[in-house]
């Protein structure tokens, strides 16, 4: 036999030639057989395979799991990188009250680290409660309901997009601090880096994690080296202040030190906590035992984040660093600690730039997973739930890159302009996740000793000590709710209103998509369907633009469908119509020929009116098929030379009930 279609996916059909004898039928109870085979498909070398690698089989998925060391690079880079800009963003706000207000940065950093401890304890419980992934969306879905789950999903999607834009823009700011001549090209650099991270992530979780592991640990070494040397010089009395600081930028006007200013600075500093939830979302990517490995990685990340934030903030205050778009606080601290723009300074800036670029990798790891979950539940297009050739959700990765590039262009790669949009979504998701976990422990506490409830994301069993766990998650939810409220109120005028408007808008679209899929499922359901409709009559209409090989091929196909075939020609020129009629008498095989005169030289509209009149008189159990001849030129760009009438006709008839549209392509050599 010539060929057999053996696999159908959203992208292509695999056709394999194999002798009939090689197929092994499986007998069913009704005596019918199912033929099954494995497609022997090998990807051809192309630009795609060169960039992202050859396709991986589904059976390779367990081998793509990662350990704790790689997991730290994949899922913690966002949280760790935030120490590069969290202190600076606190300074930007405190600058409104003068340089003396910078002394408040250290107490604020201690408060942020305290909040980090609470979140770490809360998410450590989530990781073990949801071993298959316990992000805010899943926890809210199982414990709070559909609407809170949609809000959590919308908040996280927003946060992941902003994480890419902020981290990449901050990385570019480090580059322009070291090489000021590149400042006018910061937008182009940022877009190029987003595309680079996208391509690396399309190669797969394991390979991208391996690529990013070395820069991650290089950053940790350089940051700890800078902090240790800075602290040593401080305690020896040789640290001094920053030399030739950039001019102080007063972005928020002159203000007195007050509660609102302090809360505003605190909310800016809490951007350091974004990314804490990433590990709980990415549990399925870890090797077994997944929950244990993910929990240990979370502890590592929190320890690194807290110690670096405190060290960098303390030293930045002591050297009197100045917040500026021209030179970052990290750059000022590095050249002060290392004694100038030497090799160690350049290494620190390079490491910071790399980790900030890699921070986007956390979003590229989690955004596709979250969008796939939402798609599987019918809240996003189903295509986002399909894995690509490298066992990653490639469409989600590409969508994230596109939206992030648009944000970078709109906000001109400015971290200060993007920060007010940042962190509201993540703290809203923190709150919903912890509130959901608190409710989960309450449900567990009310189960009988041997009772078990299987939910979509986890299994509930009675546990001792559920009261303490409920208090931990409940306290975490209260703290993050307060921070979200502080952030929304203090940053509202700076642009936070955009996110507060955007999240409900996203929820509205999620609900609309879900409603569409639900209605579609109801319409396609076989429940109470009865017997399939029996076709008593099949009428075929064949629109033609001329009598040629393509139209005759379509005519031959039409006659295999029914004996009731009508060829339809829209007449614009009586002379040409007369010639075509004579030609049809010779080649038309006796099929009736309908001429529709068009006095206003319209082509598509008269044809549609004719078809609609036929459809209006359609009998019960009658099917009308429109067979559309379509010639296919040798080169795709030749299509622009033709009117594409067949394409427009299909689009116009697609939504007409009782009409089937079939194209008959004729390949022109």
Q: How confident is the model at residue 103 (pLDDT cuts 50, 70, 90)?
A: confident
DSSP H/E element including 374: helix 343-376
Q: How, if at all, do strands 459-461 and 622-632 pair? A: unpaired
3-class secondary-structure state, position 546? coil
Question: What mean pLDDT is predicted for residues 526-537?
Answer: 69
- Considering only residues 10 and 355, tell me which one the structure prediction assigns the higher pLDDT: 355
Report yes or no on 456 lying in a domain.
yes
Looking at 463, 491, 518, the residue that finishes a domain is 518
What is the C-alpha separation between 445 and 467, in angstroms, rounded? 7
What is the C-alpha separation between 71 and 283, in angstroms, rounded? 9
Report yes or no on 76 lying in a domain.
no
Contact 106, 314 (CB under 8 A): yes
Q: Give the CA radius of gyration of the chain.
A: 32
pLDDT higher than threshold 60 for residue 209:
yes
Find the domain containing 34 and state its range: 4-41
The number of helices, as runs of H, and strands, as runs of E, in the chain is 23, 11
Tally of domains in the chain: 3
385 and 440 share a domain? yes
Contact 666, 545 (CB under 8 A): no
3-class secondary-structure state, position 298? helix
pLDDT at 49: 65
Report yes or no on 68 lying in a domain.
no
Nearest to 199 by CA among 410, 351, 400, 403: 400
Per-residue pLDDT of 441-495, as tens digits, reads 999 998 888 888 888 888 888 888 899 989 988 988 998 898 888 878 877 877 7
Average pLDDT over the chain reads 82
Contact 268, 419 (CB under 8 A): yes
pLDDT at 42: 63
Task: Specify which of 45-49, 102-106, 228-232 reaches the highest per-range mean pLDDT.
Answer: 228-232
Specify which residues 16 forms β-bridges with: 4
564 and 495 share a domain? no
160 and 23 share a domain? no
Nearest to 308 by CA among 71, 82, 90: 82
Q: What is the CATH number of the domain that holds 335?
A: 1.20.1740.10
Per-residue pLDDT of 60-76, as tens digits, reads 655 567 888 888 887 88
Q: CA 99, 105, 111: angle at the middle one, nearest 5?
A: 160
pLDDT at 11: 37
**Lowest mean pLDDT: which of 163-167, 256-260, 312-316?**
256-260
Tokens of 427: 């703290």
Report yes or no on 238 lying in a domain.
yes
What is the C-alpha separation between 551 and 664, in angstroms, rounded? 9
pLDDT higher than threshold 70 for residue 90:
yes
pLDDT at 136: 87
149 and 261 share a domain? yes
pLDDT higher than threshold 90 for residue 188:
yes
Report yes or no on 51 lying in a domain.
no
Report yes or no on 329 lying in a domain.
yes
354 and 465 share a domain? yes
pLDDT higher than threshold 50 for residue 10:
no
Contact 302, 117 (CB under 8 A): yes
146 and 278 share a domain? yes
10 Å CB burial of residue 386 (0-12, 13-18, 19+) is: middle
pLDDT at 4: 39
156 and 24 share a domain? no
Report yes or no on 228 lying in a domain.
yes
221 and 309 share a domain? yes
Question: What mean pLDDT is predicted for residues 322-349?
Answer: 88
143 and 246 share a domain? yes
Q: How confident is the model at residue 40 (pLDDT cuts 50, 70, 90)?
A: low
Q: What is the CATH number of the domain that holds 557?
A: 3.40.50.620
509 and 554 share a domain? no
492 and 544 share a domain? no
127 and 264 share a domain? yes
Percent of residues, the chain, with pLDDT higher than 70: 85
Token pair 């200060």 is found at 416
pLDDT higher than threshold 50 for residue 353:
yes
pLDDT at 88: 87
- Considering only residues 265 and 552, tell me which one the structure prediction assigns the higher pLDDT: 552
What is the C-alpha separation between 434 and 477, in angstroms, rounded? 5
What does pTM read for this prediction? 0.73
Report yes or no on 21 lying in a domain.
yes
pLDDT at 81: 80
């Amino acid at each position: 036999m010539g060929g057999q279609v053996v696999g159908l996916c959203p992208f292509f059909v695999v056709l394999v030639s194999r002798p009939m004898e090689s197929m092994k039928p499986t007998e069913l109870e009704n005596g019918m057989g199912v033929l099954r085979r494995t497609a022997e498909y090998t990807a051809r070398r192309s630009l795609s395979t060169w960039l992202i690698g050859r396709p991986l089989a589904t059976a390779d998925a367990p081998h793509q799991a990662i350990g704790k060391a790689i997991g730290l690079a994949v899922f913690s880079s966002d949280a760790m990188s935030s120490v590069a800009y969290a202190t600076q963003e606190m300074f930007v706000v405190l600058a409104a009250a003068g340089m003396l207000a910078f002394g408040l940065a250290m107490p604020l950093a201690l408060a942020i680290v305290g909040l980090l401890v609470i979140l770490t304890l809360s998410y450590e419980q989530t990781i073990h409660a949801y071993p298959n992934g316990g992000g805010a969306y899943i926890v809210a879905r199982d414990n709070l309901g559909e609407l809170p789950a949609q809000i959590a999903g919308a908040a996280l999607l927003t946060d992941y997009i902003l994480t890419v834009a902020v981290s990449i823009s901050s990385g570019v700011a480090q580059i322009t601090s070291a090489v000021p001549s590149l400042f006018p090209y910061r937008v182009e650099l940022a877009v190029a880096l987003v595309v680079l991270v996208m391509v690396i992530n399309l190669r797969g979780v394991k390979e991208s994690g391996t690529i990013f592991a070395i820069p991650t640990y290089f950053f940790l070494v350089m940051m700890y080296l800078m902090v240790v040397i800075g602290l040593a010089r401080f305690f020896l009395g040789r640290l001094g202040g920053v030399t030739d600081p950039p001019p102080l930028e007063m972005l928020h006007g002159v203000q007195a030190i007050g509660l609102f200013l302090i809360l505003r600075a605190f909310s800016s500093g809490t951007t350091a906590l974004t990314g804490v939830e990433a590990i709980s979302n990415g549990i399925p990517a870890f090797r077994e035992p997944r929950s244990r490995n993910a929990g240990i990685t979370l502890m590592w990340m929190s320890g690194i984040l807290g110690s670096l934030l405190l060290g960098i903030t303390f030293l930045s205050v002591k050297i009197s660093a100045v917040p500026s778009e021209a030179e970052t606080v990290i750059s000022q601290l590095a050249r002060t600690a290392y004694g100038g723009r030497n090799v160690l300074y350049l290494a620190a800036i390079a490491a910071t730039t790399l980790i900030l670029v890699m921070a986007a990798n956390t979003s590229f790891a989690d955004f596709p997973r979250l969008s796939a979950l939402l798609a599987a539940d019918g809240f996003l297009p189903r295509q986002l739930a399909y894995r690509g050739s490298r066992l990653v959700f490639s469409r989600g990765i590409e969508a994230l890159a596109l939206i992030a590039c648009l944000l970078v262009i709109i906000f001109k790669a400015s971290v200060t302009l993007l920060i007010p949009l940042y962190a509201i979504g993540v703290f809203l998701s923190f709150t919903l996740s912890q509130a959901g976990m608190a409710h989960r422990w309450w449900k567990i506490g009310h189960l009988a000793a041997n009772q078990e409830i299987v939910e979509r994301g986890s299994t509930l069993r009675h546990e001792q000590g559920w009261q303490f766990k409920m208090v931990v998650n409940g306290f975490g939810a209260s703290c993050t709710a307060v921070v979200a409220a502080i952030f929304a109120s203090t940053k509202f005028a700076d642009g936070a209103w955009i996110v507060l408007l955007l999240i409900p808008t996203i929820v509205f679209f999620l609900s609309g998509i879900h409603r569409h899929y639900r209605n579609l499922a109801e319409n396609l359901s076989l429940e109470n369907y009865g017997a399939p409709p029996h076709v008593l009559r099949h009428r075929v209409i064949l629109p033609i633009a001329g009598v040629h090989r393509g139209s005759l091929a379509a005519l031959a196909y039409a006659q295999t469908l029914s004996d009731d075939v009508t060829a339809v020609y829209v007449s614009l020129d009586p002379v040409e119509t007369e010639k075509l009629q004579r030609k049809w008498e010779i080649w038309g095989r006796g099929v009736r020929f309908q001429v529709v005169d068009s006095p206003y030289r319209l082509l598509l509209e008269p044809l549609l009116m004719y078809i609609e009149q036929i459809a209006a008189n359609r009998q019960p159990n009658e099917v009308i098929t429109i067979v559309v001849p379509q010639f296919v030129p040798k080169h795709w760009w030749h299509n622009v030379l033709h009117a594409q009438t067949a394409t427009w006709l299909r689009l116009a008839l697609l939504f007409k009930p009782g009409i089937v549209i079939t194209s008959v392509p004729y390949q022109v050599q």
